[in-house]
Structure 1
Amino acid sequence: MSRRATSRPISARELWRDVHLYLGLFVGALLVILGLTGSILVFWIEIDEWLNPELLTVTVPRQENPTQSTVAYQPVDEIVRAAKQAAAPDSKITTVYGARNSTAVYAIYASQTSGDWQRIYVDPYRAQVTGVRSYDADEWVPNYLMDAIFKLHFSLLFGVNGETLVAICALLLLVSLISGLIVWWPTRGQWSKALTIKRGAGPVRFNLDLHKTLSIYFFPILGAVLLSGVSMNLNEAFVWVTQQFSPATRQPQYTLISVPAPGAPSIGVEHVLAIATEHYPEGELNGIYLPGNATGVYVVTQRNVPKLSSYWSERQIAIDQYSGEILDVRAPDRRHSAGETFLDWQWPLHSGQAFDWPGRIVIFLCGLACPVIYITGVIRWLQKRRAKTTANKRQSSLIINKQARGTSR
């Protein structure tokens, strides 16, 4: 007999079970897409370089001076100048990404007034362009594999609206994850049974055990990844909410303002980099974000800064585009609040880069676990539905037989 037929009130555990069931069925399919694409993106740079070595890798020139430990790069201004020559007309350089290792290229981003943009790759030793990737503002699917996977992961190929949709679905998946934890929680202290897969179990029991054990062991990782996904797709709202709990949390650096000086031009990329390295000489160049308008600021980011952090060693330096004054510095040793620490951890946790290779492998495995969790959940639902249908048929048959015997009498 069904729950409604008995008019029995629904318990809190049953309510959470229904929440977990319906969110899992209707939103869980997205978890498969996000999980599989996320696993690929953990190693997207390595995969892209492997697929396109002529575009993304360079040969290190022979060392002419034996006293030098490394071959020097060309000045950043020369690298940017080479990129400008290869850029489409009416282009503006927006970002300069440094080489990730000695055989990698610089990546220069250039945008156009139409909304189209390009990613221009430059050999840093020779200041020569190795190739250009072009993107249309209204393109549905990018022409390049890793970019298409990125867009599918972050927006389901639906642009800005897709980013919002993914963020909302990630929040719903978080609710599904929490409701699953509530339903899973052992009520009689049978922790061993709840945390293991029974040996020699039949297909029904094995499917259930696999679903619950994978879900519970990946619970903290999957929860952190989903939350960090929300932080990236709904960044302004995410920062605002964080500030409500931690008022000392600063606004993002792109909200800072440069003060225009009459007749003073904006200083160049090389000058900005020199200012940053003069004050903070340690670390490798990760990227330089150029001002978006007349009052915008430069932001220089450094990675692998020695003795800064054992988990995520990055520094961000905001610089006035006219005076060269350092306006703000963000780093693990310069945080003003717990909220800033929380925000700074979102991307490193999402990508797994916070813990180097072990972290990336864990995120990779977490992404692979997502389709298994979803499929075993659907199988479990179908098993219970089939069992309920069988039970109802058996009960109906008993009632019919009983009525038939009563009529025969």
Structure 2
Amino acid sequence: MKRLIGWLHLWLGLSSGLVVIVVALSGSLLVFEDELEHLFQPSLFSVNAPVGAERMSLDALAAIVHDQYPDYKPNNIEIQPVANSTVTFYLKKGKAKGQLLMVVTDPYTGKITHTADQDKRFFVVVKNLHRYLCMGETGKMITGISCSMFALIIISGLILWWPKKNTRKQRMKVKWNASFKRLNWDLHAVFGFYIHVVIFITALTGLIWSYKWVNNLLFYAFDGKPQAKVEVPESKPVKGNEIAWLDKIVAATNQRLTYNGIVNIRFPEKKEQAISVGKENTDRITTHIVDVLYFQSGSGAFVGDKLFANDTKGTQARRLVYPIHTGGLLGWPTKILAFICALIAASLPVTGFLIWWGKKQKKPVAKKHSSPKATTA
């Protein structure tokens, strides 16, 4: 049985190794996506606010952006919680999905400070590589299969690692002063053991994005039924209204949701639908916890809400999948843990390949043949 498990571990590893390396390395970058973007591109998020100056109306900023890009329609607007932060508009042209133009504005001067195709931004490319290998649905299928293989590799690797009583100490630590062959084996087996819980959870949560049936299993486990489709409430837009209704929406959102957080105004796909306003609670340690409010387009009248606290257990669990997968569950400690485990996970196919290659190149020991004894007549 152990020989069969070893064979399974080997060939699953060789089959999925390259994909695992790409996914793990790109995943390690995505752990600190927000922090790295703020560090290397601070102009996308903050401006030098003049002393005593007041921020422009959001409606006025929207009008400036529309004048500059009349052929585009707003997809969503992102408002950071800090006073000296930028306001970012995401625009779409036509009905093409996923093709957005990012327009960053200075809310004190109305100046457009930065524009870029959303699909070409560094972390958007990294995320596309992580999820789809930059190959669309074909890449999604490949990463899904490789992620499934990786989960089996982790289980089989743990079985192969499991020590006997007299070898337990040897299996628990790396012998740094050993030969390259022994050191490589320790880096693969010992490091693999210490991170196996984290990377197994990461692999399982990754499967939720890859396969709809896995996603539904989560909802069956908590709600006893598959995920229900989220319907945006119907609300006919009001035209010709002179009030600053976008500012009214932001003020009403911050009044109803009093915690600090990023406000994201998302315009509906259909004209008869309400505007969705999500606010991420940045006061919580866990990232990506979002409450959603709905408002009427043109008037800013409140229509309804979809709060995290009122969601079903299945929906709440589904919302937590992203911070669990990326390490944002308990803030910096789990992020650092996820980053280290992702780097080690990327090294496992390499060390595993070297173990296999070393065994393959090992020359078989020639059998000694004894010469026949002389006989006398």
Give the corresponding residue for 1:354: 329
Calculate the TM-score normalised by the size of structure 1: 0.77
Q: CA 1:43 to 1:328, structure 2 compared with 1: closer, same or farther past 3 Å?
A: closer
RMSD (Å), alpha carbons: 3.3
Deviant stretches of 4+, over 6 Å: none
1:37 corresponds to 2:22? no
1:225 corresponds to 2:202? yes
Give the corresponding residue for 1:186: 163
1:151 corresponds to 2:134? no
Structure-2 separation of matches of 1:197 and 1:22 = 25
Aligned to 1:113, what secondary structure does the other structure show?
Answer: coil
Give the corresponding residue for 1:139: none
Q: Deviations over 1:19-73 (max 9, x none)?
A: 2111111102112112222222333344445544545542132136xxxxxxx64
Structure-2 separation of matches of 1:15 and 1:266 = 72
CA contact (8 A) 2:132 2:139 kept: yes
Q: Deviations over 1:352-406 (max 9, x none)?
A: 232222232222222222332221111111122233xx23xx35x54xx46x859
Structure-2 separation of matches of 1:102 and 1:170 = 42
1:381 corresponds to 2:356? yes
Match among 56, 69, 75 for residue 94 of structure 1: 75
Deviation at residue 312 of structure 1 after TM alignment: 4.0
**What letter is aligned with 1:94?**
N
CA contact (8 A) 1:208 1:380 kept: yes
Stretches of structure 2 lacking an aligned partner (at least 5 in a row)? none
Percent identity (aligned): 19
Task: Map residues 3-402 of structure 1 onto 2, 5 A cutoff.
Answer: 11=1, 13-63=2-52, 73-87=55-69, 89=71, 91-99=72-80, 101=82, 103-113=84-94, 115=96, 116-134=99-117, 143-188=120-165, 190-198=167-175, 200-234=177-211, 236-247=212-223, 251=227, 255-261=230-236, 264=238, 269-304=246-281, 306=283, 309-312=284-287, 314-319=289-294, 321=296, 324-330=302-308, 333-337=309-313, 339-387=314-362, 390-391=363-364, 394-395=365-366, 397-398=367-368, 401=369
Calculate the TM-score normalised by the size of structure 2: 0.83
**What letter is aligned with 1:241?**
L
Aligned to 2:265, what secondary structure does the other structure show?
Answer: strand
Aligned to 1:371, what secondary structure does the other structure show?
Answer: helix
CA contact (8 A) 1:272 1:319 kept: no
Q: CA 1:30 to 1:84, structure 2 compared with 1: closer, same or farther past 3 Å?
A: same
Structure-2 separation of matches of 1:19 and 1:103 = 56
Stretches of structure 1 lacking an aligned partner (at least 5 in a row)? 1-10, 65-71, 136-141
Q: Deviations over 1:170-192 (max 9, x none)?
A: 22211212221222222447433
Structure-1 separation of matches of 2:177 and 2:278 = 54
Deviation at residue 350 of structure 1 after TM alignment: 2.6
Deviation at residue 286 of structure 1 after TM alignment: 3.9
Structure-2 separation of matches of 1:275 and 1:46 = 29
CA contact (8 A) 2:174 2:190 kept: yes
CA contact (8 A) 2:288 2:322 kept: no
Structure-2 separation of matches of 1:159 and 1:241 = 25
CA contact (8 A) 1:256 1:296 kept: no
CA contact (8 A) 1:109 1:120 kept: yes
Deviation at residue 88 of structure 1 after TM alignment: 5.9
CA contact (8 A) 2:57 2:247 kept: yes
**What letter is aligned with 2:105?**
V
CA contact (8 A) 1:291 1:321 kept: no
